[in-house]
Structure 1
């Protein structure tokens, strides 16, 4: 083999070694990330910037009806959010709700979604709504709710939930979020607290 042939052979081997060394960090980098489920197809199209309380409630209602967990999470005000259950419905499970946050909201809705058909459309309606403003950026929204659910877990037999919902909403960076949610049973029907208590555990 001539000097020229050995030289080009050396160059080729060096190039292959360099390429191999470059690939190793990429493989290691890829292993640092976990794959996550893609957002639901309608996640972006169903969401409107909640610059008004009405839009926040519309986003919340649509997310509940379509079981869109991504958009559901977006309606809450992050770490400071808290859910206050109906005491009767909570029963002996009061500790379950002691530090109920956005994580628990997500987990309960995922539990409900796993037991619902892809094409399921729940129905949520509010009536007798009243808004009480404390400042320009905080208010309490109170209303009676009816939530009709369709799911496959036969151990949870109720299909219609009823009660009073009281949401403390706050505006930050011109977007309204739910800072706290108080649930109250108003009839012999099960309430939203019952739904959350069951589906976060099952």
Structure 2
């Protein structure tokens, strides 16, 4: 059987076209939500929360919070600055983190740990989590020199209809008169 020149050209064109389908490409960069795990357990929610704070990941941070979050600042500070925290909602919570992120170079040096953790289940779908926190945030805001924050947080968590846990209430308490607490950080970065 004789194949003519035209048929040979068609076969070669088809083979080249098929080979082009299998060219490699640069891998896509991971999205900012790749570290998120569905918080079907409160421990997963706490891991997500810690990672979102360390990474200053606004999307994941927001996913950790109930949209009707109630934040209660440290009592000693809130008496002097009631206007800042009087109407604090999830909107302000995200705004402070956004401002902090804009003034922080991502070096991987930030650190965040909980200690002396206690969990008190109120119902099958709600609990109160209490822990001391130790937070280092290396921001670049020269008007605010504090980078180390310690205190005690009381987080109320609830499971929603999708069986995912979220933080609905957050009480911050100062534990060291010499070291700022998380309330101080929020107060500065809500309107730096």
> TM-score, normalization: structure 2?
0.81
In 2 relative to 1, CA 120–111 (structure 1 residues): closer, same or farther, beyond 3 Å?
A: farther
Q: Take 1:41 and 1:153, find their aligned partners in 2: how far apart are those partners?
A: 28
Q: What residue number does 1:51 align with?
A: 40
Output the CA distance in 2 between the equivalents of 1:66 and 1:121. 10
Q: Deviations over 1:167-194 (max 9, x none)?
A: 0000012100000000000002100000
Matched, 1:135 2:98: no
**Matched position secondary structure for 2:116:** strand
Task: State whether residues 174 and 180 of structure 2, in contact with CA within 8 Å, keep that contact through their aligned partners in structure 1.
Answer: yes
The 1:89/1:134 distance shift into structure 2, 3 A limit, reads same
Where do 5+ consecutive residues of structure 2 fail to align? 1-28
What's the CA shift for 1:163? 0.3
SS in 2 for 1:139: strand
Give the conservation status (yes or no) of the 8 Å contact 1:90–1:194.
no
Q: Across the two proteins, how many residue pairs are aligned to each other? A: 162
Matching residue of 1:28: none
Task: Map 1:1-202; keep pairs closer than 5 Å.
Answer: 41-78=30-67, 80-172=68-160, 173-188=162-177, 189-202=179-192
CA contact (8 A) 1:89 1:191 kept: no
Worse overlay, 137-146 or 155-164:
155-164
- Tell whether the 8 Å contact from 2:121 to 2:128 is kept in structure 1 after alignment: yes
Q: Which region of structure 1 is more displaced relative to structure 2, 158-167 or 91-100? A: 91-100
Q: What is the Cα deviation at residue 197 of structure 1? A: 0.3
Deviation at residue 55 of structure 1 after TM alignment? 0.3
Residues in 2 aligned to 1:96 and 1:157: alpha-carbon distance in whole angstroms: 20
Cα pair 2:33 2:59 within 8 Å, conserved: no
1:118 Cα deviation (Å)? Answer: 3.5
SS at match of 2:138: coil
TM-score by length of 1: 0.77
Cα distance 1:75–1:52, how it changes in 2: closer, same or farther (>3 A)?
A: same
The CA distance in 2 between the partners of 1:120 and 1:97, in whole Å, is: 30
In structure 2, how many angstroms separate the alpha carbons of the residues matched to 1:65 and 1:139? 24
Flag as ranges the 4+ runs of structure 1 deviating above 6 A.
Answer: none
